[in-house]
Structure 1
């Protein structure tokens, strides 16, 4: 059994909250009220419905609407209480001896306007400001506890990819193959939900696409799209039958005990055209170069520009990370509890890399009408560069 029901250690939560409190003090925010599910889990150890109040000093208070008894078991915080309505929060804070804040931080990057208005009425005398950046910066650098969990997810990403050759058959539809691989991932303990923060973004297990369908663009912030099974979904595996001598892209996320691994490998029934084989080798070369360049202190925007320059130097500027004016303006992203965490290896980003960050690096070349080649691995930022946590052979697997 791979799934781990053990609670996030109290010491882990204490460090995370202390780091957030330091950032609140720097921003002159008296307290944060955390409601977004992933942030709530990160700082409290439970995703049960409720509100986490973090003053700039002192103990955090977890107030739970549903389900209190479960939250009490899952969270290692000292103060966990039931609460029937957010309207009761100010009274509860005062009962606990806490002073109501004049400046309250919330996750305004994801909080709907109607809920914002509700909380503004509840905290009528407070100015509500955005602390989502501060929260995401705390989450960007992973602890040894988190890195260990990500390593385990990465090992299972490799295991899922190893299963593909056993299931890949000419004439099988993409969605059929996807279902078989996803069932296998589920049997390994995949949690079934891949969380993303960006509004309107969503993903099932990932993308499995063959040949020309992999190069079909979609709304998703991804260099690959896919036809999907309907216009309502508009991404991922569709009903195309897998043929010979075409790249089969398996770009899957393994979600284990909350933490994610992002992973892409290319397969083919028979030899691919030289054009695609050479492009894949170029993407691997870009990855290896960037692994050396990506050391602590390097600005993520500069790293992006270096990858763009490498792709152009190798003759793949027109195909790198998309085609035409809808190219994706990033080449990597942070990975943790969500698929789109800080940092972003993206145009114009000024965040420096730091040891302990975990990023998915994904140099890919898109050829409309032919397919997609390239690689994606999940990496740990170290003083020496990137350490790949997904270790399966990166070359195209010819079957």
Structure 2
């Protein structure tokens, strides 16, 4: 039986979006949403179409394919079929009026981060707006604060994540297995346990199946991905999953940084393991410092806290030697300590400089302090936290990592 996003939940999201638009852009008249993730957020179904949101009229989800599936999956109140943008154009002009004359507003608010120019040109043929303005920030702001419905899905994802990475992965590790062997087995087990089978990111042109599954120095290998860890991947054309050639050896650090999701909602978690023997004590000490940084940052995840101040407090407390390979390795370092998670693993806000709006209860963050060590790999930790009045509530487990597998 298809699980449907409750109608009250969809209404709540649309109401919050309209209020956000009224506050940030008082002159807005119409917004159009194309991306499948945001369409799912507002309608409860992920189809090929567009959601048109006039300021003073009911929003309409125009569906090209599949209209039948949209009706089956969604409780959204106004779903219409279309073969092309022409089908929707006449209807929209009727609700956009200046006096007694039907007229499109000058500006349309679009997801400028994800709508290609070619798609916009096809759209503009039937919707000849003069200007385009961005709606990305407004949508991201609404999505950042999770409802109890969303938090229940995130908690379930976190429960699966904890069980698989902390309890089951140690049993999977075998000397001589490849990174690809572990990645495919891990993926299979995650899906069996309830993972929805994909890790979704918003960053441009980013593909991801599972995450980073690495042995030793693979976890600091250069990658285009905007995160502190690295990976070899299958080949230059598919730098994903893990290497077929890198085999697990006694004494290896095993680095597993993967997403887990339930009904669209992700948690993010990194767990490390010491295979066959212990790491050198200096590496263990660096790892433990990363765990302490995570816990310090988590304690600050309270309503009213400023993300940039959390970031600066942590970074200013670290010495130059530790910072040298902190949040990356060599010159490949990232400038954040954590990020929002939800329908995407890389949502906003970000625990980084420049993010100055206060946190709100119900926001969800992955904190991931990590540090690269030459000839060993990436140590550190990552867990997912809910912002509460008592600080961050961890929903992915409290194991500090470097789990011994001897």
Deviation at 1:165, TM superposition (A): 1.0
Residue 106 of structure 2 is aligned to residue 107 of structure 1: no
How far apart are residue 189 of structure 1 and its match?
Answer: 2.6
Task: Give the gaps of 5 or more residues in structure 1.
Answer: none
Contact 1:21 1:57 in 2 (8 A): no
Task: Note the C-alpha offset of 1:272.
Answer: 1.2
Pick from 125, 131, 142 the counterpart of residue 127 of structure 1.
Answer: 131
Residue 98 to residue 71, structure 1, CA distance change in 2 (3 Å): farther
The 2-side partners of 1:312 and 1:203 are apart by 34
Q: Is the 8 A contact 2:306 2:356 kept in 1?
A: yes
- 1:338 aligns with 344
Aligned to 1:370: 376
Distance 2:151 2:130 in 1: 37
Whole-angstrom CA distance in 2 between matches of 1:98 and 1:70: 29
What is the alpha-carbon distance in structure 2 between the residues aligned to residue 165 and residue 123 of structure 1? 56
Paired residue for 1:312? 319
2:249 paired residue number: 243
- Among 151, 155, 159, the alignment partner of 1:147 is 151
Equivalent in the alignment of 2:263: 257
> How far, CA to CA, are the matches of 2:134 and 2:229 in structure 1?
32
- Once residues 240 and 126 of structure 1 are traced to their aligned partners in structure 2, the CA distance between those partners, rounded to angstroms, is 55
CA contact (8 A) 2:34 2:49 kept: yes
Distance in 1 of aligned mates of 2:329 and 2:193: 36
Whether the 8 Å CA contact 2:33–2:110 is kept in 1: the answer is yes
The answer for unaligned runs of 5 or more in structure 2 is 98-103
Which moves more between the two structures, 343-352 or 259-268? 343-352
User: For residue 185 of structure 2, what is the aligned residue in structure 1?
Assistant: 180
Give yes or no for the alignment of 1:267 onto 2:293. no
Partner of 2:286: 279
Q: CA deviation at 1:235?
A: 4.7
SS in 1 for 2:331: helix
TM-score using structure 2 length: 0.93
d(CA) in 1 for partners of 2:152, 2:145: 13
SS in 2 for 1:373: strand
Distance apart, 1:259 and its partner CA = 0.5
The answer to whether residue 95 in structure 2 is matched with residue 89 in structure 1 is no
Bigger CA drift: 154-163 or 348-357?
348-357
Name the counterpart of 1:21: 18
CA offset digits 1:289-327 (Å, max 9, x no partner): 1112222222212222222233438x5211210133321
Matches of 1:57 and 1:335 in 2, distance apart? 31
3-state SS in 1 of match to 2:49 = strand
User: Is residue 217–residue 377 contact of structure 2 (8 Å, CA) maintained in 1?
Assistant: yes
Q: Alignment RMSD, CA only? A: 1.6
Q: Does 1:80 align with 2:69?
A: no
Give the whole-Å Cα distance in 2 for the aligned partners of 1:22 and 1:118: 30
- Note the C-alpha offset of 1:160: 1.4
Q: Deviations over 1:131-157 (max 9, x none)?
A: 111011100110111001000000000
